[in-house]
Amino acid sequence: MLLGGPGAGKGTQGTRLAERLGIPHISSGAILRRIVATEDSELARSARVINEGTLIPDGVANAIMFREMEKPDAASGFILDGYPRDVAQAEALDGFLAAREQALDAVVALLVAEEALVERLTGRLTCPACGESYHVRSAPPRVSGVCDRCGQALTVRADDQPDRIRTRLTEYRRKTEPLIGFYRMRGLLRPVDASGSEDEVLASILAALANEGSEGAVAATTAL
Ligand code: AP5
């Protein structure tokens, strides 16, 4: 599981880890954006709050994510990104996994200072077709404004407007950050300094995953 504030790099690293580990990257935000963009349903209408930066109801998030984790391509494991988002979702996930005799291996907390998060989000460009993410300064596309992967015109996400970024940061601090303590108590937490380059962060994640237990990493993070 990748845990972190808005813009911490969950999507970026989730994509890279999925390629490296050969298991699917299940991003709740990407799934919700796809539903909102392509479906005309009650679910799509209720999920439109994602554009405002507030969380959708727990029951809806759980149902969407359980469906993904049940897919055959997730049978050998998966990377969760953006889920769970609060303690109620984490407890629902525990129950879901226990019923399937599965368990989380590790929870990687991507730690980045808030000013850096805002800088990353205000420069982000996203492909509405394939979901690939870019940054105008740190990770620009090869051709300005065009997705490297599929050639679509890049857009700015609706929730990357400054007022919505503030809402998302508040939601994160109030509802999601408590999960750091929740998973630390369970011995699953692998805190990672995610302020470096994408390559440096990937290397830190792989090193944290290779470490048995999280105590050393937790001690290192206290200084961040
Ligand atoms: P979601 O898509 O999960 O949004 P988020 O948590 O705000 O995270 P982001 O996607 O903005 O950032 P990221 O951490 O993936 O960073 P990225 O890699 O893109 O959710 C969207 C909304 O859906 C939520 O607000 C909520 O409404 C709803 N939702 C989702 N899940 C839910 C749930 N479980 N329950 C209820 N509601 C839910 O990187 C960001 C930028 O930084 C990019 O430009 C990237 O190129 C750049 N970057 C990445 N890494 C680096 C680096 N190392 N150095 C410099 N730049 C970098």
Model pLDDT, residue 130: 87
Q: How does pLDDT run across 112-129, given as a tens digit for each residue?
A: 999 999 999 999 999 988
Q: In the structure encoding, which two tokens stand for residue 4, read together?
A: 């972190």
For residue 204, is pLDDT > 80?
A: yes
For residue 214, is pLDDT > 70?
A: no
CA–centroid distance, 139 to ligand 1, in Å, is 15
Which pTM does this prediction carry?
0.93
CA–centroid distance, 59 to ligand 1, in Å, is 21
Out of 16, 33, 120, 124, which one is annotated catalytic?
A: 124
Model pLDDT, residue 35: 94
Instruction: Decide whether any atom of ligand 1 lies within 6 Å of the 134 Cβ.
Output: yes
For residue 37, is pLDDT > 50?
A: yes
- Which of these ranges, 130-134, 164-168, 180-184, 185-189, has the smallest mean pLDDT? 130-134
Q: Percentage of the chain surpassing pLDDT 70? A: 94
Model pLDDT, residue 212: 62
- For the CA of 84, the nearest atom of ligand 1: 34
For residue 9, is pLDDT > 80?
A: yes
The DSSP string of the chain is: -EEESTTSSHHHHHHHHHHHHTS-EEEHHHHHHHHHHH--SHHHHHGGGGGTTPPPPHHHHHHHHHHHHTSGGGTT--EEES---SHHHHHHHHHHHHHTT-----EEEEE--HHHHHHHHHTEEE-TTT--EEETTTB--SSTTB-TTT-PBPB--GGGSHHHHHHHHHHIIIIITHHHHHHHHTT-EEEEE--S-HHHHHHHHHHHHHSSSSHHHHHHHTT-
> For residue 90, which of 189, 221, 22, 204 has the smallest C-alpha distance?
189
217 — pLDDT class (breaks 50, 70, 90): very low
63 vs 223, higher pLDDT: 63
Instruction: Decide whether any atom of ligand 1 lies within 6 Å of the 68 Cβ.
Output: no
Question: For 8, phi and psi rounded to 5 degrees?
Answer: -70, -20
Model pLDDT, residue 101: 94
Model pLDDT, residue 221: 34
For residue 209, is pLDDT > 80?
A: yes
Mean pLDDT of 153-164: 95
Model pLDDT, residue 131: 84
Give strand pairing partners of 3.
109
Q: In the structure encoding, which two tokens stand for residue 224, read together?
A: 């961040």
Arithmetic mean of pLDDT over the chain: 92
Mean pLDDT of 190-209: 96
